[in-house]
Structure 1
Amino acid sequence: MEQGVGPSIAISFTVYESLRSFWQSRSPNDSTVMVSLACGSLSGIASSTATFPLDLVRRRMQLEGAGGRARVYNTGLFGTFGHIIRSEGLRGLYRGILPEYYKVVPSVGIVFMTYETLKMLLSSIPTSN
């Protein structure tokens, strides 16, 4: 399992369930597929925003020295965070997040839409006793 996947999934599910509960408390009869898609998409944005800096640092450390690049992040995780903040500012920790959103918004939205659809379908299947 890739590093960062666990926290990302935990954040996605937490945000999704919170948004879905909030929506259902406001509109109890409105549990459409589009609500699941919207809540899932927003949860993907939240999880990506929370975990992106750590993922960026991991990628930068992996690419260091590759293809003749200079080695600048040889101080470990916290040193790499510090170097990025000193040289690029806090915005540097989110460099490249828009393409991440382009990937995550539809994919996580579809995952939760499918999750809710399968929950509905499986709960309507009669059990044989």
Structure 2
Amino acid sequence: MSQRHLSKLCIQAEKKLAQLGQKRDDSSLKVQLNQQQNQALANMILTYRGAKEGSNVLLWQNSASMAQVLEPMRVKLAQKEVFLQQEQLRIERLWRNQLGRQQGLKWLEKQTNIQEKARVARSEQAIVDDMAGFYYKHKR
């Protein structure tokens, strides 16, 4: 694999990692927002269920009805939270896998650079040795 090809792969891996990192952040925000909405709805339901409007039966019925209307919404938010958390875990796995790929490519690129420098140094040393041998023979 050529050095240039390896560098391109490293750049692509970094871009993909950045994209997945953004998706990971977005997913986390969605989960947090859903949890906040779910908590707010649960608080509203508790408020309506706990409403004791004294002797006014109509207000008590309205509060009970409101709690009944809100409950299915809370259930849907809870279901959505499970879905969002599963999606967050999926994206996290993809991000971790991509991080491993990116780090592996960086390591390979570094090792390739080290090996190439060593090869060039050996080649240059061989040329210097040949030249030294040539001059030594002709000087005698």
- TM-score, normalisation: structure 2: 0.32
Which of the pair is proportionally richer in helix? 2
TM-score (norm 1): 0.34
Higher relative contact order (CA 8 A, sep 6+): 2
